[in-house]
């Protein structure tokens, strides 16, 4: 690292020196925001710039601009030259100047109505460029053009980034990540906290004077209610296992037989006892030491809701006699509504179109600078691109396949190589597909479909893993901006193992495993299945196509169909076990290997449960790993898990991407934190600083 930094540094210094010399010669005195991109050698003739200035210093579309050029003749004889201002290729104004030796003259050009683009001042062989920027569109409103839309607005239910992006701008948590750190926290709805030396008790002092968007005051009781409500709800495939594991030592409330009233009462009591409050504080009692608990508390599932308002919406009343009624609902009462304490309030969610947030003017901190945030669902790249180019979108999701189209486009800023704590996409195999799935053809091993337990044969999984061209995928879909981890313990997490075993693209081996699968019957009869991806996600589409191409090339009886579906449809089909293969990413909830091995490998973890993957040895190792304090012992556990992951092949990580962020250059204040589900809008404003 250090060596390459040094050599880069030297190179940069050399280049800077050359540029500086030219800049000093040609542009002395010019400052501000202009991009002087083409500065060339002075002509053999003797005319030289002394000064060039552009007023105002920031030129926006439509503004008049004055260019003042001072030139001198340093040669030995009289010289005549034309100086002109060329706008986007055509001459806008020009003046001739004739200078005797040592004579200096200043010329002024005025362009009354500027259009966006490149302005070049041409004087003989010298060309100097400046840019007229776009006038800031909708200066109080931030428009984010993205794909997909939230699955829900209920923080206890939400477990996808599209939902999380809305939620973490409207609701707040006790603590929040400090800047771009994932391991340091700052106060939000709690002002102070204490953790007992045994790691089992967490105490938070609740901030006074905070109100919800309906005007109700925030109380410690609301905080207690928020966590208990989340655990009461505990929907299938939701995020609440992250609270249940540290607080109750379980992964799911339905691990108990809740239809037995005595058992239900006991579980209710456990939930109630785990979180307590008094007039000023909230206390958490953990079942076991759990180092990532603070990270869990800083995330959307730990959002604080208003108890009274929730009850008015038909949510859990806060009592224990019939709490099971509110467990794992079909649709949560807060599915479409929000009532937080955060800097923005929900104005509306127009399905299939946009979510609109408005500023909370009674926010307990200084109100946000933006009045409005619109998160638009624009699945078509061409439409999204047009919006972005015209400045109708301020921040846009740009699929990697299209990044070249935005290269050098004026007015667009790209922040590159953002380290992502993301394992995406990963190819998951479903071991027990729902027999009613529309994606398995006949549902039989008869060449016209697949049986529901198709992927329970490890040979099938390995055959698929060897059929994928990983390098091509990273090159084509991610333009090389990714690394490839062997296991879900990705780079950036403690105990990452760079040399973990992983599958390589090898069609000979793929054929070998396909021939072994289903006692040889699969190779003879063939199969058909459908893989889906969410609309607009070109990376996943490319992955599907690569898989289809290679597998179909092996045997004419192998057939893979690809279908694009809406994001909520995709999620629901995945949870129901209808997707034979699903490609999805995993964004870290907290930067610890436990947060990856649990969803990917534990029989009760998010993905593994959807897949129906279960290995008791794996479960035991995962449960052991989170409780160990000694790092060397922990490392051994996670190494073993990486080995088993390779052998069992329940899923295959295709890439760990390095991210990019695209915004109009008038967007200010955005910052990156790898744990964020989307754009955190509070610090953002629009304008040119």
**Site residues for Ca ion per CB under 5 A:** 216, 222, 272, 275, 306-308
Helix (H, G, I), strand (E, B) or coil at 143: strand
Q: Shortest Cβ distance from residue 274 to Ca ion (Å)? A: 7
CA distance 58 to 113: 14
- Measured CA distances, 424 to 293, 477, 490 (Å): 24, 12, 10
| 314 touches 337 (CB < 8 A) | no
Q: Shortest Cβ distance from residue 276 to Ca ion (Å)? A: 5
What does residue 372 show for φ and ψ, rounded to 5 degrees?
Answer: -150, 145
Closer by beta carbon to Ca ion, 267 or else 652: 267
Q: Shortest Cβ distance from residue 221 to Ca ion (Å)? A: 7
CA distance 345 to 370: 12
DSSP 62-80: T--EEEEEEEEE-SSS-EE
Q: Shortest Cβ distance from residue 310 to Ca ion (Å)? A: 9
Q: Shortest Cβ distance from residue 217 to Ca ion (Å)? A: 6
Handedness of CA 190, 191, 196, 197 (dihedral sign): positive
Structure tokens at 591: 């930067």
Q: Shortest Cβ distance from residue 197 to Ca ion (Å)? A: 23
Nearest to 222 by CA among 201, 239, 208: 208
Q: Shortest Cβ distance from residue 363 to Ca ion (Å)? A: 17
Closer by beta carbon to Ca ion, 287 or else 572: 287
Nearest to 445 by CA among 513, 517, 351: 517
Q: Shortest Cβ distance from residue 150 to Ca ion (Å)? A: 24
Closer by beta carbon to Ca ion, 270 or else 574: 270
CA distance 349 to 376: 10
Q: Shortest Cβ distance from residue 260 to Ca ion (Å)? A: 22
| 405 touches 396 (CB < 8 A) | no
Closer by beta carbon to Ca ion, 232 or else 465: 232
Closer by beta carbon to Ca ion, 222 or else 589: 222
What's 253's DSSP letter?
Answer: G
Nearest to 291 by CA among 183, 157, 148, 417: 183
Structure tokens at 637: 């556990």
DSSP 363-414: -SSSPPS-SEEEEEE---HHHHHHHHHHTS-SEE---GGGGGGGTT-TTEEE
Closer by beta carbon to Ca ion, 85 or else 275: 275
């Amino acid at each position: 690292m250090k060596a390459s930094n040094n050599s880069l540094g030297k190179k940069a210094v050399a280049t800077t020196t050359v540029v500086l010399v030219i800049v000093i010669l040609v542009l002395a005195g010019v400052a501000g925001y202009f991009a002087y991109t083409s500065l060339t050698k002075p002509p053999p003739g003797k005319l030289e710039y002394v000064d060039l200035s552009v007023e105002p210093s920031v030129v926006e579309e439509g503004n008049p601009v004055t260019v003042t050029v001072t030139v001198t003749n340093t040669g030995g004889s009289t010289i005549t030259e034309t100086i002109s201002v060329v706008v986007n290729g055509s001459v806008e104004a020009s003046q001739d100047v004739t200078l005797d030796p040592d004579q200096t003259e200043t010329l002024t050009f005025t362009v009354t109505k500027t259009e966006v683009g490149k302005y070049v001042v041409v004087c003989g062989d010298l060309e100097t460029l400046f840019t007229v920027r776009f006038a800031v569109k909708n200066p109080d409103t931030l428009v984010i053009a993205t794909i997909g839309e939230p699955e829900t607005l209920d923080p206890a239910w939400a477990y996808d980034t599209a939902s999380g992006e809305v939620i973490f701008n409207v609701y707040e948590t006790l603590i929040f990540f400090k800047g771009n750190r994932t391991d340091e926290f700052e106060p939000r709805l709690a002002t102070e906290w204490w953790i007992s030396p045994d790691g089992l008790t967490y105490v938070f002092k609740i901030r006074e004077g905070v109100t919800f968007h309906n005007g109700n005051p925030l109380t410690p009781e609301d905080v207690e209610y928020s966590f208990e409500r989340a655990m009461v709800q505990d929907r299938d495939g939701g995020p609440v296992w992250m609270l249940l594991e540290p607080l109750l030592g379980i992964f799911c409330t339905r691990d108990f037989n809740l239809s037995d009233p005595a058992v239900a009462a006991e579980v209710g009591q456990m939930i109630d006892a785990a979180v307590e409050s008094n007039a000023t504080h909230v206390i958490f009692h953990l079942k076991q030491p759990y180092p990532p608990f603070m990270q869990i508390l800083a995330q959307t599932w730990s959002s604080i809701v208003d108890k009274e308002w929730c009850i008015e919406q038909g949510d859990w009343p806060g009592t224990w006699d019939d709490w099971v009624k509110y467990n794992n609902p079909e649709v949560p009462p807060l599915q479409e509504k929000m009532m937080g304490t955060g800097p923005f309030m929900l104005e509306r969610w127009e399905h299939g179109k946009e979510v609109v947030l408005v500023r909370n003017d009674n926010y307990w901190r200084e109100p946000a600078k933006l009045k409005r945030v619109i998160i638009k669902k624009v699945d078509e790249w061409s439409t999204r691109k047009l919006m972005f180019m015209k400045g109708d979108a301020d921040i846009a999701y740009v699929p990697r396949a299209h990044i070249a189209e935005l290269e050098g486009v004026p007015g667009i800023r790209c922040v590159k190589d953002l380290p992502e704590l993301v394992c995406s996409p990963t190819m998951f195999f479903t071991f027990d597909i729902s027999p009613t799935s529309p994606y398995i053809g006949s549902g039989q091993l008869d060449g016209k479909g697949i049986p529901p337990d198709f992927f329970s044969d490890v040979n099938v999984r390995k055959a698929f893993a060897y059929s994928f061209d990983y390098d091509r995928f990273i090159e084509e879909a991610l333009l090389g901006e990714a690394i490839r981890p062997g296991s879900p313990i990705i780079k950036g997490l403690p105990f990452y193992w760079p040399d973990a075993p992983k599958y390589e693209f090898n069609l000979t081996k793929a054929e070998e495993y396909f021939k072994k699968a289903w006692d040889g019957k699969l190779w003879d009869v063939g199969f058909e299945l459908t893989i889906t991806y969410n609309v607009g996600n070109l990376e996943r589409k490319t992955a599907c196509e690569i898989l289809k191409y290679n597998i179909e090339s092996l045997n004419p009886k192998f057939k893979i169909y690809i279908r694009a579906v809406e994001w909520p449809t995709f999620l629901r089909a995945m949870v129901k076990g209808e997707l034979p293969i699903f490609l999805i990413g995993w964004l870290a909830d907290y930067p610890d290997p436990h947060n990856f091995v649990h969803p990917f490998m534990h029989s009760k973890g998010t993905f593994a449960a959807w897949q129906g993957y279960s290995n008791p040895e794996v479960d035991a190792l995962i449960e052991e790993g989170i409780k160990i304090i000694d790092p060397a012992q922990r490392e051994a556990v996670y190494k073993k898990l990486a080995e088993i992951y390779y052998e069992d092949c329940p899923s295959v990580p295709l890439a760990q991407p390095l991210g990019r962020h695209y915004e109009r250059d008038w967007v200010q204040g955005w910052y990156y934190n790898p744990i964020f589900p989307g754009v955190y809008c509070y610090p953002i404003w629009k304008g040119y600083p």
